[in-house]
């Protein structure tokens, strides 16, 4: 909707052949969600190269990804890539930034406030702008490796609590390229333990403190990404209380 709101028509393609057939003299831009790049048949570089051959710029939405330098997407030839200011950056939620081709960035600026164009209703306030600037400055000096160790430690606190119960096990995975943080899955035998994953989520949501947790029918998933220091203790306590019945 954000794309079509400006009056464009979106044409979705899956294969190289579909991409090449979709070009016309009205094609304005190629767009890709960064976290979908590994699932598709067209690589980021192939998309960027194709667009360049046709004189069409390419744009990647990498909102939940880390704005590392050097930037991988720009290295692949993408013309512009956008990041959220409120996810990995930990800045204002209503902020974001676009990196890439200077002319494209100037065009985006010209269509936003204070210029009264299509971007007028989505303007960022001066508070968000300064907050994002502070977040960028912090990003450059943060100890990202230490943050990863702290995420592991918090998950281990929770794992130590829940694995004391019969049949409960945990496993870790780290998604890529979005939301790059260890995700811990918790599984157990619902019949042996006498409580299902859905029931655990319901009780956690209704309890104090209220805890919202994702997961499927056979377990739970915990992402420490947005947890504050000490919250892992509360999560471990509530989980053990619920699992104990």
- Work out the average pLDDT over 46-65: 96
* pLDDT (0 to 100) of residue 116: 75
Q: What CATH number does the domain located at 144-243 have?
A: 3.90.1150.110
* pLDDT (0 to 100) of residue 183: 94
pLDDT level of residue 119 (50, 70, 90 thresholds): confident
Inform me whether the pLDDT recorded for 75 exceeds 80: yes
Output the average pLDDT for the chain: 92
Lowest mean pLDDT among 5-14, 77-86, 107-116, 139-148: 107-116
* pLDDT (0 to 100) of residue 99: 97
- Work out the average pLDDT over 138-143: 95
Percent of the chain scoring above 90 in pLDDT: 77
- Work out the average pLDDT over 79-94: 94
Distances, alpha carbon 136 to alpha carbons 7, 37, 88, 155, 170, in Å: 32, 25, 10, 27, 35
239-242, long-range: CB < 8 A, 24+ apart: 239/158, 239/161, 239/162, 239/186, 239/200, 239/204, 240/161, 240/162, 240/164, 240/165, 241/207, 242/195, 242/200, 242/203, 242/204, 242/207
CATH topology of domain 4-139: 3.40.640
Inform me whether the pLDDT recorded for 184 exceeds 90: yes
* 48 contact partners, CB below 8 Å, separation of at least 6: 30, 58, 76, 77, 78, 79
Inform me whether the pLDDT recorded for 170 exceeds 90: yes
How is residue 122 written in tokens? 């989505």
How is residue 52 written in tokens? 């360049």
- Work out the average pLDDT over 204-215: 93
* pLDDT (0 to 100) of residue 63: 93
Q: What residue segments make up the domains of the chain, in order of their start?
A: 4-139, 144-243
Angle (CA) 202-203-208 rounded to 5° is 125
Q: Which residue has the tokens 């157990």?
A: 188
pTM of the prediction? Answer: 0.82
């Amino acid at each position: 909707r954000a794309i079509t709101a400006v009056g464009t028509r979106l044409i979705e393609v899956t294969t190289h052949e579909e991409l090449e057939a979709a070009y016309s003299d009205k094609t304005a831009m190629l767009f890709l969600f960064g976290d979908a790049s590994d699932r598709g048949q067209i690589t980021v570089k192939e998309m960027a190269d194709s667009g360049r051959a046709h004189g069409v710029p390419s744009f990647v939405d990498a909102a939940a990804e880390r704005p590392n330098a050097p930037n991988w997407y720009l290295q692949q030839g993408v013309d512009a890539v956008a990041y959220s200011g409120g996810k990995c950056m930990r800045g204002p939620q209503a902020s974001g930034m676009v990196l890439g081709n200077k002319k494209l960035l100037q065009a985006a600026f010209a269509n936003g406030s204070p210029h009264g164009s299509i971007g007028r209703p989505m303007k960022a306030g001066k508070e968000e702008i300064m907050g994002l600037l502070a977040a960028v400055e912090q990003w450059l000096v943060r100890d990202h490796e230490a943050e990863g160790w702290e995420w592991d430690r918090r998950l281990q606190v929770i794992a130590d609590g829940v694995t004391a119960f019969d049949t409960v096990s945990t496993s870790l995975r780290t998604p890529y390229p979005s939301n790059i943080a260890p995700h811990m899955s918790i599984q157990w035998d619902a019949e042996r333990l006498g409580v299902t994953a859905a029931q655990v989520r319901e009780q956690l949501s209704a309890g104090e403190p209220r805890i919202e947790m994702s997961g499927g029918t056979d377990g739970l998933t915990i992402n420490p990404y947005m947890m504050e220091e000490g919250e892992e203790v509360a999560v471990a306590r509530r989980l053990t209380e619920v699992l104990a019945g």
